[in-house]
Structure 1
Amino acid sequence: MQLRSNFEKGTSRWATRRAQWRALGLSDEDMEKPKIAVVNSSSDLAICYSHLDDIARRAKDAIRAAGGIGFEVRTTAPSDFIHSAGGRGGYILASRDLIVNDIEAGVEGALLDGMVCLASCDKTAPAQLMAAGRLNIPTIVVACGYQPCGTFRGEHCDIEDVFLAAGHVAQGRLGVDELTEMSENAVLGAGVCAGMGTANSMHIVCEALGMALPGSTPVAANSAPMWDTVERAGQRIVELVRDGLKPRDVLTPGAFANAVMAVLAISGSINCVKHLQAVAAEAECDVDVYGLFERLADDVPLLAAVRPNGPHSIEQFEAAGGAAAVLKQLEGLLHKETLTVTGRTTGEHLASTEVADPEIIRPADRPLGRRPAVVLVRGSLAPATGIVKLAVAEERRLTFEGRAIVYDSPEDAMTGLRDGEIREGHVLVLRGQGPKGSPGMGMASRPVFALDGAGLTGKVAVVTDGQLSGLVNKGIVVGEVSPEAADGGPLALVENGDRIVIDVAARTADLDVPEDVLAERRTRLARTPVPARPGWLSIYQHVVRPLQEGAVLRG
């Protein structure tokens, strides 16, 4: 087998590599084997990464047993709840692309032959898919599981409940003692957030794309099924290298359509939209993911209602068959010819797939609903797009007309709410939070949850170019508005008192201000050069592309 990791004997690269690896205990025979990167985002800073070192060891053992050699390659390990504290929250999305480049430097620099990527918290799975698309070497993504959660006063309690409750504390509707008790019971072990947030949604996306082993998502962290997947991935990656099956063979337009349908069917995270577009960009696959969400929204029924979108737990969803069962129920809509990392097609796998509980994961002819839960809107306020997330059993009104009240940071919005500036009938405009403006894309969910704590859900709408919780939002919230304010988008022109009209059913978000008034404002608000400053976020700000291109980095 011709491996790119092997060099001609007697050359300097062969000799120095042999010297290094002999010192690590490898034999000459080992050096002829496929060399596999085990991509590990381990960290002691967040519980979602705390179990990955053990998984990496097992993966390397499985690779060795299959006739390969595993090398652990580390990356940065961002957690939304930990790393959003600094940089105005900008390190979260920006760290996704840092992981991509960590992988490129570690794997491409060493010319390794394949990758097993250990996916955990929100940004790891999309980053690993992006790196796979960019490097185009045999890759398998392994979902490393969701965390066990607890109860608070007899009711289910997870990390998102804590996040939402903090907004109630900010408005004096919940005591700090209660929030403290919740925080002590919300997370009981390793793994990602237990709801249908970005992490579990993106793990399912990996399987729908064909980049994870069929039947492997979602999965409880450190469970027998997770360990079985680790073993199988170690075996299969060596075969993948020998077979020459690469990510761009899998990441086709049909695969992206399948992934979009899966997200719509499970009411998945809105963050999947930009992440899938970024994966397509890195894989050089000519597909408009935003357009797919718009075109497929009315065709794909809602098949599952996992917390906080509905009553079922992620454990129930896994037991019902997980991603494989969702794809089975969508079989009539899918592109079944798409390849998976097994070397078999999606259709071949679905032929033997069964749905264990059709009440948890409904058939397409008996769905939970047909109104999309992930809705893309456009209009004079969001010429490219904005995104609205609706709960499964959505009863809130889907139209809103109100007067703008404008803030340039979540902190200012929180202060405005506390001081009584934000009142019923307002549209809270939170701008300057996009990829360039933050920079790195700030988290806009705190004001949204604080509005809920103040009893203003449904009475105040929110429009922002920032990102939102991947799980759920309260009231009419239009997020990720593009173009963002810092890139010359209409949000930059909004002033207090402007009339804003949102119609989710019609998929529109408009700024009702005469064009001549807006033209005068544009003259006053001519963009100024981005100030030079050191650091990663400055680099990111200068090279990040718009959300419609996946917010990927291009020089």
Structure 2
Amino acid sequence: MTDAPRKKTYDELRSARWFAPDNLRAFGHRSRLMQMGYAPADWVGRPVIGILNTWSDLQPCHVHFKQRVEDVKRGVFQAGGFPVELPALSLSESAVKPTTMLYRNMLAMDAEELIRSHPIDGVVLMGGCDKTTPGLLLGATSAGVPAIFMPAGPMLRGNWKGKILGSGSDAWKYWDERRAGNITDADWQAMEGGIARSYGTCMTMGTASTMTAIAEAIGMTLPNASSIPAADANHIRLASDCGRRIVEMVWDDLTPSKIQTREAFENGIAVAMAMGCSTNAIIHLIAQARRAGQDIGLDDFEKASRKVPVIANVRPSGDTYLMEDFFYAGGLPALMNRIREHLHLDCLTVTGKTMGENIEGAEVYNDDVIRTVDTAIYKEGALAVLKGNIAPDGCVIKPSACAPQYLKHTGPALVFDSYPEMKEAIDRDDLDVTADHILILRNAGPQGGPGMPEWGMLPIPKKLVKQGVRDMLRMSDARMSGTSYGACILHVSPESYIGGPLALVRTGDLISVDVDARTINLEISDEEMARRKSAWVAPEPRYHRGYGWMFSRHIKQANEGCDFDFLETTFGAPVGEPDIF
């Protein structure tokens, strides 16, 4: 029988350095708390719990956080802690331009420095919309204090004329029908009012639900936290549960470094594959792992892809169900129980128990929503990593969500050098394009975008849409929304803006894709490739000042997680580096 972990004493807390000493500086700290109406009974002997809240008036996914933060505080008070709310950068996927990915690392720095600079003993991270989950976890991992993530939760199902709508996925689908003349303006406007019926994140298996599921799979949330609908009363209780639990985590000194092992991230990858995850999972999980000092890369995703089938029948990989259905079918613990053989069940979690203990006895209540391994909706994992002379450092496709005829295809390239150029041409009736073409968008990567926007699901040319074409191969160094679908090849590395091979493709060149063989190649000779490379001219810098200038000089490529080089553990600082104060 192992001994119980030693509990911290009050004098060992970070916050005690601010409030406990009998000196002039501590007098100032205490008097300023009293200025706000607090009394010594609020902080003496209690851990200070920071609540990093990514609420804003332009963040529909987190609009309920203004109330939920009070529920977190209630839990903290009940457990004997002292809660303090700290506003963090709010990254609204639908409002921020050119892309929230440009600012994920800014949120990570914001979170880390908020924790490090304040008298914080533990932290509840309130996020959920795409980049807020990895951004907050990146920052908290580097800060090194006990942390628990509280997901925003998916919104309710959309509805239009009795049809169930999924955010993103059905927007793309019906937009093509409107372009083809099959949807009226009145229908389109009615759909706008029916596709997002409550607060919360996208209710398809987009990046938001992917990343909160990964957060749970690596052990950084309470069990089943990742899929509770935002409007469900269970979500209110979750908030208070997080507040209570973080207080105990502080006394137990249960820090992210004790949870985020290599095996934990391998659990995250396995779960992502089984969920039919967003392609963005690769970038964010690699960044998170490397912040935690774990060397996770594309090869780890490729290994899992060959072994773990997609068993979550949720759009866009699935054809009917949404996250609300997934939660009521048993949620993530039930799915994880069905892929136990692919998981490290002895990994520690924020509960203080192992992952195996957390999912023990979890049941599936609807076998069509959460399939068995034998009835999987796709026999391999959701993502595949391709490599070849056009993507020597890799690129990504989501075969579970694309037409099968494009999994092995050779076709001529149709190249666009910028997003505006593509937008101007794509609806032209005289565009020289067929369904066999491979549309290429370049200069849309981490530096070229800037920030690697979600432009990778290029629209099907209008002339083809009118002919009934609904999928074709598209390729870029951009990302795409996790709610997107289709034969889209993404994250081509190295990106074209810095001279990667994608920069050398010309319209009419043949490109061969073989997903089963995991290959992608530009069908020109090495000599011709070298000639084109020698003639390539670097574009003008995107930025000359400010955050963008710093971003351009320090952002890493997609296959490395797009973190800033100076924020990775390998830059020279240990995980949770010691406080300067």
What TM-score, normalized by structure 1, do the two folds share? Answer: 0.94
1:492-539: CA deviation from partner (whole Å, max 9, x where unpaired): 111122111111121111111112222122122143663652343332
Aligned to 1:232: 241
Once residues 302 and 381 of structure 1 are traced to their aligned partners in structure 2, the CA distance between those partners, rounded to angstroms, is 28
Aligned to 1:39: 52
CA shift, 1:61, in A, is 1.7
Aligned to 2:495: 484
CA shift, 1:362, in A, is 2.1
CA shift, 1:213, in A, is 0.3
**Map of 1:103-502 to 2, 5 A cutoff?**
103-160=111-168, 161-170=170-179, 172=181, 174-288=183-297, 290-310=298-318, 311-391=320-400, 395-419=404-428, 420-424=430-434, 425-445=436-456, 447-448=458-459, 453-455=465-467, 457=469, 460-474=472-486, 476-502=487-513
Aligned to 1:521: 532
The 10-residue stretch of structure 1 (242-251 or 448-457) with the greater mean CA deviation from structure 2: 448-457
Contact 1:120 1:144 in 2 (8 A): yes
1:114-170: CA deviation from partner (whole Å, max 9, x where unpaired): 111112211111112212221121111111211123322221123312244334445
Once residues 392 and 464 of structure 1 are traced to their aligned partners in structure 2, the CA distance between those partners, rounded to angstroms, is 17
Contact 2:460 2:472 in 1 (8 A): no
Once residues 124 and 407 of structure 2 are traced to their aligned partners in structure 1, the CA distance between those partners, rounded to angstroms, is 43
1:255-298: CA deviation from partner (whole Å, max 9, x where unpaired): 1111111111111111111110110121122232x211101112
Q: 5+ unaligned residues in a row in structure 1: which ranges?
A: none
Contact 2:402 2:485 in 1 (8 A): no
Once residues 39 and 193 of structure 1 are traced to their aligned partners in structure 2, the CA distance between those partners, rounded to angstroms, is 21
Alpha-carbon spacing, 1:536–1:180, altered in 2? closer, same or farther (3 Å): farther
Contact 1:171 1:453 in 2 (8 A): yes
SS of the residue 2:227 aligns to? coil
Aligned to 1:26, which of 19, 24, 38?
Answer: 38
Aligned to 1:62, which of 68, 75, 79?
Answer: 75
Aligned to 1:79: 92
Alpha-carbon spacing, 1:449–1:418, altered in 2? closer, same or farther (3 Å): closer
1:160-208: CA deviation from partner (whole Å, max 9, x where unpaired): 1224433444565544332222111111110011111111111111111
Once residues 334 and 490 of structure 1 are traced to their aligned partners in structure 2, the CA distance between those partners, rounded to angstroms, is 37
Alpha-carbon spacing, 1:507–1:332, altered in 2? closer, same or farther (3 Å): same
The 10-residue stretch of structure 1 (62-71 or 302-311) with the greater mean CA deviation from structure 2: 302-311
SS of the residue 1:81 aligns to? coil
Once residues 488 and 504 of structure 1 are traced to their aligned partners in structure 2, the CA distance between those partners, rounded to angstroms, is 25
Aligned to 1:503, which of 514, 517, 524?
Answer: 514
Contact 1:216 1:225 in 2 (8 A): no
Q: Please state if 1:3 is matched with 2:13.
A: yes
Contact 1:114 1:139 in 2 (8 A): yes
SS of the residue 2:94 aligns to? helix
CA shift, 1:422, in A, is 4.7
The 10-residue stretch of structure 1 (105-114 or 450-459) with the greater mean CA deviation from structure 2: 450-459
The 10-residue stretch of structure 1 (394-403 or 425-434) with the greater mean CA deviation from structure 2: 394-403
Once residues 466 and 221 of structure 2 are traced to their aligned partners in structure 1, the CA distance between those partners, rounded to angstroms, is 42
Q: Please state if 1:48 is matched with 2:37.
A: no
Q: Please state if 1:97 is matched with 2:108.
A: no
- Which amino acid is 1:4 matched to? R
Contact 2:154 2:324 in 1 (8 A): no
What TM-score, normalized by structure 2, do the two folds share? Answer: 0.90
Alpha-carbon spacing, 1:422–1:80, altered in 2? closer, same or farther (3 Å): farther
The 10-residue stretch of structure 1 (362-371 or 163-172) with the greater mean CA deviation from structure 2: 163-172
Contact 2:457 2:484 in 1 (8 A): no
- Which amino acid is 2:475 matched to? V
Alpha-carbon spacing, 1:455–1:52, altered in 2? closer, same or farther (3 Å): farther
- Which amino acid is 2:16 matched to? N
The 10-residue stretch of structure 1 (521-530 or 401-410) with the greater mean CA deviation from structure 2: 521-530
Aligned residues between the structures: 548
The 10-residue stretch of structure 1 (61-70 or 352-361) with the greater mean CA deviation from structure 2: 352-361
SS of the residue 1:315 aligns to? helix
- Which amino acid is 2:483 matched to? L
Once residues 461 and 140 of structure 2 are traced to their aligned partners in structure 1, the CA distance between those partners, rounded to angstroms, is 39
Once residues 522 and 545 of structure 1 are traced to their aligned partners in structure 2, the CA distance between those partners, rounded to angstroms, is 22
Q: Alignment identity in percent?
A: 29
- Which amino acid is 2:544 matched to? R
1:443-472: CA deviation from partner (whole Å, max 9, x where unpaired): 214623566745574774211000112123
Aligned to 2:554: 543
Once residues 519 and 35 of structure 2 are traced to their aligned partners in structure 1, the CA distance between those partners, rounded to angstroms, is 63
CA shift, 1:543, in A, is 1.3
- Which amino acid is 2:175 matched to? A
Once residues 117 and 148 of structure 1 are traced to their aligned partners in structure 2, the CA distance between those partners, rounded to angstroms, is 23
SS of the residue 2:321 aligns to? coil
Q: 5+ unaligned residues in a row in structure 2: which ranges?
A: 1-8, 567-581
1:356-406: CA deviation from partner (whole Å, max 9, x where unpaired): 233321233443331332111111111111111133695443122111111
Contact 1:391 1:472 in 2 (8 A): no
Superposition RMSD in Å: 2.0
The 10-residue stretch of structure 1 (388-397 or 3-12) with the greater mean CA deviation from structure 2: 388-397
Contact 1:41 1:76 in 2 (8 A): yes
Contact 1:423 1:460 in 2 (8 A): no
